Amino acid sequence: MSPPRNRLLAALPPVELATLLPMLDAMELAQHQVLHHREDPIAGLLFIESGCVSLLASLEDGEGVEATVVGHEGLVGVPLLLGEARAELHAVVRMPGCGLHLRAGLLNGTMERLPGLRRLLTCYVLARHGHATQLAACNVRHGIVQRLARTLLTAHDHADGQMVPMTHEILAMSLGVRRAGVTVAARQLHLSGCINYGAGRIAIADRSRLKAAACECHGVIQAAYARLRRTEDVPELEAAG
C-alpha cells in the first residue's frame, strides 16, 4: 500500500503505521454519498485520504446546516472515540475522493496496542472541538463574503488542483444562508480577482487574494490541525485522566 495521504495516519510512528495499515479497508467516496444519518450506528473510523465530508446538523424543517467539514486532516466517526456507537450528525460526501476505514469492532484493541495512535486521536478530538467552536464564532461575527472566502479556502485545501466542484446550492447549505446571498458574495470575490465560476465549479484564480478576503478563522483552524502532524508534538495525555 502506498504511503497514506491522511495526515493523522502520516503522523504515526512508522512501526505503528505498519501495524495499522493492514487493518484498513480502502473506500471510494462519491459526491453526495451519505455515509450515515444522525442516530445511525457508526461502522468505524473513516480516515479521509482525498475529497471531503460534510457533517450536518438537521433542523425541524428538514434542512441541514453544516457543522464542520472533514478532509485529509482528519476522520469521520469521532463519537466512537468517545464511547458512543451512534452518529450525532449526518455525514455526506461534499467532494468525491477516497478513504481508509477501520471497522468499529477493531477499534478498542487497536487503541490499546498503539499508544501513539491513541494519543493522536485524542488530540484530534480536541482539535475538532476547537474547529466547531471557531466556526460558531465565525458564523456570528463575520460577513458572508469573508465566510464564503473561508469556505472556499478550505475546499481548495481538499481539492486536487484549482477547481472546486461546489455549486452555489452546496455553498448556501455550508454557510446557512440563501442561495441568492452566495451569488452576490461570489460575484464580489470574482470581481476582486479571487475566483472564477461556472457550470457548478469554482476555480481559485488567486489564493493569496482569496486569503486576504477571508476572515482569520481559516488560519486558526489550520494551525490547530497542523500541530497534530508530528507525533512528537502530541503531548502524553494518560496522566490527565
Splitting the chain (241 residues) into consecutive groups of 10 residues, what average pLDDT does each group show?
88 95 97 94 97 88 81 96 95 95 96 94 93 91 96 91 83 88 95 88 94 96 83 46 33
DSSP-derived secondary structure letter, 59: -
Residue 204 pairs in a beta bridge with 195
Residue with cell 504515526: 12
Q: What region does 16 belong to: left with phi over 0, alpha with psi -120 to 50, or beta?
A: alpha
Measured between alpha carbons, how far is 170 from 161 in angstroms, rounded to an integer? 19
Please list, in sequence order, all residues whose beta carbon lies within 8 angstroms of the beta carbon of residue 143, skipping any fewer than 6 positions away: none
| Cβ-proximal residues to 138 (8 Å cutoff; 6+ apart), any chain | 147, 150, 215, 217
Q: What is the pLDDT of residue 235?
A: 52
- Listed in sequence order, the residues at least 6 apart from 104 whose beta carbon sits closer than 8 Å to its beta carbon are 42, 43, 44, 45, 77, 80, 85
Predicted pLDDT of residue 160: 79
Q: What are the residue ranges spanned by the domains of the chain?
A: 7-122, 143-214
Largest CA distance in the chain: 54
Name the fold adopted by 143-214.
Arc Repressor Mutant, subunit A (1.10.10)
Class of domain 7-122: mainly beta
pLDDT, residue 238, reads: 43
The backbone torsions φ and ψ at residue 163, rounded to the nearest 5 degrees and listed phi first, read -85, 135
Instruction: Tell me the CA distances in angstroms from 192 to 36, 185, 196, one per residue in order.
Output: 39, 11, 10
CA-to-CA distance for 63 and 65, rounded, in angstroms? 7
Strands 44-58 and 64-70: antiparallel
Residue 54 Cα to chain centre, angstroms: 7
In residues, how long is the chain?
241
Distance from CA of residue 56 to its chain's centroid?
Answer: 12
Please, how many CA atoms are within 13 Å of residue 63, restricted to the half-sphere of its CB? Answer: 12
